[in-house]
Structure 1
Amino acid sequence: MSLTVVNGLPAHVLFVHFVIVLVPLSALALVVCAAWPAGARRLGLLLPVLALVTLASVPVATHAGEWLEQHVGSNPLVRKHAELGDGLLPWALGLFVISAVVWWTARRSAPAADGAAGASSSPSVLVRGVVVVVSLAVAVGAVVDVYRIGDSGAKAAWKDNYSKTATQNGG
């Protein structure tokens, strides 16, 4: 197995499914944890680890996609999909960085066992509001980008590659 071919099939087809699942999952977890600090404390290190795995999956899928692009006929739909795919890495990096900030902030502001304030004071309402808005913006941007990339990839793969009428199988 390589990062370009799995069981004789282009690996990109497999790896994109990780991205399709992990980006929206990371985005949702980020927004929930940014808006609900108790949720961030409950998820703990899982939030930034999920975002890190998401970040790592993007260049793996992109690399496999670049290999596939060189092995299929070039057309405008494939080129558009490849160009859109190159734009996802900054969104995934944003998800990771903000997830790490949310986790760190929630960790530092955790209440003590006796219910008193944590070791450091909780962030102000303004700072939390900014973090929620930035988290929401990056999450929406990442999910919309994944949708656009997936839509363009589906069009590149399937446009004019199926019959508009059902075929009869000798039965």
Structure 2
Amino acid sequence: MTSSDSYQQLDDSARRAVIRRAVLRPIATAVVLTTGYFVVPMDDVADLGSVVLLVATLVVVVLVCIWQVRRVVRADYPALQAGEALGAVISVYLIGFAAGYYLLAERHSGDFSESLTRVGSLYFTLSVFSTVGFGDITASTDLARAIVSVQMVCNVLFVALGGRLLVAAVRRGQARKARG
């Protein structure tokens, strides 16, 4: 078996190995980022620091997206690589917003309807991302509302444009591979 064998040409053992890698890498990324989120000290940051962190997170998400799209296009198995890419980008995106919300809430407890712990910040981020928005935690200040609004707009872009971008990258990768 060479790395460029067609997925259909792989035997069952090789297919399982390829799928296992495609599943385990994004899980490992999510575990490392989540562990870092809960372990790395985050305190005594000014409001500007929280905003800078969120902007930096968005920049990192864009860079990770670009890097992952390039990996999808060049991958031996573009569809599997697209799944990996999605897992990695979502992890960076969600942990970045959760850290930003946590820092914002740490600096000014009135920015949200209740005090946010790290778990609470991650929960809030996930409820905004999933568009569930239970309403148990809400942004209470203009700064917090602005940041949540940025996340909501990015969520829509993430789903709409991100999905289309990954599908296009998979098609391009498959076409590249078919050309030989």
Bin the TM-score by the shorter chain. Answer: 0.3 to 0.5
Q: Which has the higher helix share?
A: 2
TM-score, length basis structure 2: 0.39
Looking at both structures, which has the greater relative contact order when contacts are Cα pairs under 8 Å and sequence separation is at least 6? 1
